[in-house]
């Protein structure tokens, strides 16, 4: 998801505006961070990798991106939709074209040597149950 500060000083309305604005301050995650990998995949799919040259900062994680955007230190950044939601009124989400978005999957498993195997299986059952699915959807996650 592309995010901008609530004030949106660069007047960004689309991911394609990143290529059009000459003095844009973009903040992204480094290539080793998951959100950094997803950002590069999105830009590659849209033939916009060149906008990475406008990055004024490569953060170690999404929290750094959200912080810089919320403080107005950058004009745009790539984050997860759940981060925009968690930031409340400080950020605005700019939707990305559906074709650009890689599928992001989170996996859950029980560690064989865990001393809390029963509790771990219970957590998984809760996640997959009606209440867990409702909470995941409320938080902006897709359903398992």
Give the integer Cα–Cα distance in Å for 6 and 19. 20
Q: What is the pLDDT of residues 113-128, one digit of tens each?
A: 999 999 999 999 999 9
pTM (2 d.p.): 0.80
Domains and CATH numbers, the chain: 2-100 (3.40.190.10), 105-144 (no CATH)
pLDDT in tens, 41-73: 999 999 999 999 999 999 999 999 999 999 999
Based on its alpha-carbon atoms, the radius of gyration of the chain, rounded to whole angstroms, reads: 17
**13 vs 144, which has greater pLDDT?**
13
Taking only the tens place, the pLDDT of each residue in 126-135 is 999 999 999 9
A 10 A CB-CB count for 57 gives 16
* Better pLDDT: 139 or 133: 133
């Amino acid at each position: 998801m592309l995010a901008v500060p609530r004030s949106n000083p660069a007047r960004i309305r689309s991911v394609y505006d990143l290529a059009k604005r000459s003095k844009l301050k973009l903040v992204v995650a480094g290539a080793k961070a998951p959100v950094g990998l997803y950002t590069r995949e999105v830009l590659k799919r849209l033939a916009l990798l060149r906008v990475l040259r406008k990055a004024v900062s490569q953060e170690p994680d999404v929290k750094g991106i959200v912080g810089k955007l919320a403080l107005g230190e950058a004009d745009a950044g790539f984050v997860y939709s759940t981060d925009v939601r968690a930031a409340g009124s400080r950020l605005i989400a700019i939707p990305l074209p559906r074709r650009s978005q890689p599928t992001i999957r989170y996996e859950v498993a029980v560690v064989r040597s865990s001393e809390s195997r029963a509790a771990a299986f219970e957590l998984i059952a809760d996640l997959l149950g009606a209440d867990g699915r409702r909470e995941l959807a409320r938080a902006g996650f897709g359903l398992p």
